[in-house]
Amino acid sequence: MISLETSLKHLAWSNQKFFKFFGEQPETVFALRASENEWPVGRILIHLAGSGEWYRYCLTGIEGSDLVRITSGQIALDYLPIIASLDQVLLENLELPDDVLQIDSAEGIITARRSLILSQAVMHAAEHKGQISTILKQNGIHIDLDALDVWSFMKDTEGN
C-alpha cells in the first residue's frame, strides 16, 4: 500500500514539474478557462499555492501572504520556491502525532486529524491539475500528466 509519505513526496515532486511546465507557456495560457464563468488557469494555479498556505495554517498556525497573480511563465517560475516551502511543511508534519487539530476558520472552528489535512493536500492538488489539464486540452495544449504520476515519480527518484 502506498504510504502518506510517498504521496506527499510525490506531491512535492509533481508540483515542481507542474509549475515548471507553465514557465515555458505564453501569457495567453494563463487566461484560458473551461467556460466563461470559470476560473482561468492562472487563478487555479494561485489557488493551488493558496491551498498550500491554508494547509500550512491548519498544521502550524502560520498565516498566508498576498499571492501574486500568475499571468506569465516567469511568475509561475517565481512560485517554485514558495511551493517547495509549503510542500516541506507537509512533509515535516509526517513526523508529528496524528492529533486532532482545531483550526480557526472564517466558518468557525474546524477539527481534523493531521493525516486528513495531509491527505487532502494531495487529493486537492491532483483534482486541480486534472482540471487545468482539461482546460489546456480544450485549447490544443498538451501537458503529460502521466509524466507526473506516482509511477514516474518512483522511476525518477528511486529507479523503480
Is the pLDDT score of 160 beyond 60? no
8 grid coordinates: 506527499
Within 8 A by CB and 6+ apart from 20, the residues are 76, 77, 80
Name which of 154, 24, 140, 124 is nearest 80 in CA terms. Answer: 24
C-alpha cell at position 56: 500550512
Q: What is the mean pLDDT of residues 80-101?
A: 97
The model's pLDDT over 37-72, given as tens digits with 9 standing for 90+, comes to: 999 999 999 999 999 999 999 999 999 988 999 999
What's the fold here for domain 4-158?
Answer: Four Helix Bundle (Hemerythrin (Met), subunit A) (1.20.120)
pLDDT in tens, 112-142: 999 999 999 999 999 999 999 999 999 999 9
Contact 13, 156 (CB under 8 A): yes
Q: What is the pTM of this model?
A: 0.94
